[in-house]
Structure 1
């Protein structure tokens, strides 16, 4: 049973360790144990984060670990469903042949009379019949062994789906708890350095006078915020190497027209619901909140005269004027968290929980938009 569980969890969670080094000599059982350990480590990290001195960092790691684990489980369940369907089709295709063979075997009656033992074709016919039986028997045995192996595989796949439910249920609950805790931890955070103190009246005046995101960003770029604090370290050495703020894929590139022919000087990036968004580089928060029809917007200043705009989030974290370290959680994408049944159903059917949320990413230098590929490594070059 333990090896069965190991094989099962390998099929489900094997993708969770794909980002790490995989040694050729490792057995499937070893890989299964490592994958399961990663998921269990995330659960342990959630418990440890409650007493961590840097809960934001700890909880950010927990959310990411669970997002990676759930993504691997989603892909694993899909592969299991496809393989089970494939086996079912194979059995259906071969059922007719097996039925005929079984009918012939049932129809054969044992007869040990001397007449039954004599072949109608004489000794030569008897010898040929014996050779034919001896040739067919190993093939039949091989077919039976192949059926046995496939039936065992089918049993493992079904056991896999049953064994996965408890782990998956705990994971869905834990990641939701971690997101809630992270939001609260960011609200409670008071240890971040501040580059300036926000002026609510000036910010509101700029918001009221800005009819486009470009106008707002341009006004923000020239707003004097220096308050005697040294500027952030120049990030030019990392130009083109920033990690993407959230996993996903490109929907529309820089200045690429949408279906209505509208062009925007940034990227439209597709993500999964409730994905965690983080900073790619240390940056000062210049603005956080809703803006027009963009949803929640957060604007950073990673360097003098450089602004990074992220728009379309459901939640945003951080205080205006605070300097955030790299890889700090700054918000969550929108969407709904699926329940256990919906997760399994969508995963096995290959539907739902897709890249349904969109994040708009814009970078401006000296008040002018530039292609984000100048800074990010995740987009098309």
Structure 2
């Protein structure tokens, strides 16, 4: 039996120097381009090296150069400018006192979310090329054969950055898909694993589609998946994985749609690996859904075995228990241990202390090793 490998959702704590550069660039302050690129490249190499030291098997660049996982596209696509109004998730709106406390604690992003104000087309692929080069150098130096790179789904871009240019949302999604296609294909052509970040298929229920019924949301999710699949038409599914979550924030999450309602739609997406929340108190019980689901034979489960919104460091024994639940369902060769979400969804903020984030990842590695030993003994018995 092969051992259980480890990975994570993508974003990792950025250094203060990186955060300062990203926000200075966001504000349009004068910067030396060569110095900026060097800081990003060095920080990427450092974060890949630390993943190797921690024992992570499939690393990322930590989303080092991105101020957030969706708004970075303003540098790569035409048609985006200005800012978008903030609309809180429905569950936080139900508890205004808590929402205010969260904002005071820095949990409300302050960076711009440029909205679509014109035609969408590829503007500049150079930022992508730089990210790929930095990750490839870092991975090669750290001895990694495989690494992944995050890219926003058309739906999550539309979720946070609405369009003034398009008369219909479906037209906007289609244009975004065609605009992002070059990035998707470029990541895979570079020999990296493409990770599509698609919180629109979970979080979208209680944000952009909060006024719809669950049935209507599921129908909208079907359209999001169809659009994404079209954007991935030239990419092999086994080189793509997709991340779905209900929002990377500590909150009540009482408006989250159940995994069971959206899973049939998620399985229609082209990516052959799914990263999903399986540890936080609102979704940890949903492992049972997989026991009632017909799962394609080539499908890889990447359950979150760590909560990404609390500073508890999960015990390796608990991590192993979580891994084994899924290994019992699809077999250990089709399970990779992951995290519920990222540890620094936007630069300069993370609910989890940076050093504790690394301690949690170390526990993930230890738990995966423990699960591997247990599963090996079980298969040999």
TM-score by length of structure 2 reads 0.27
**Bigger Rg, which one:** 1
Q: Would you tell me which structure has more strand in proportion to its own residues? A: 1
Higher relative contact order (CA 8 A, sep 6+): 2
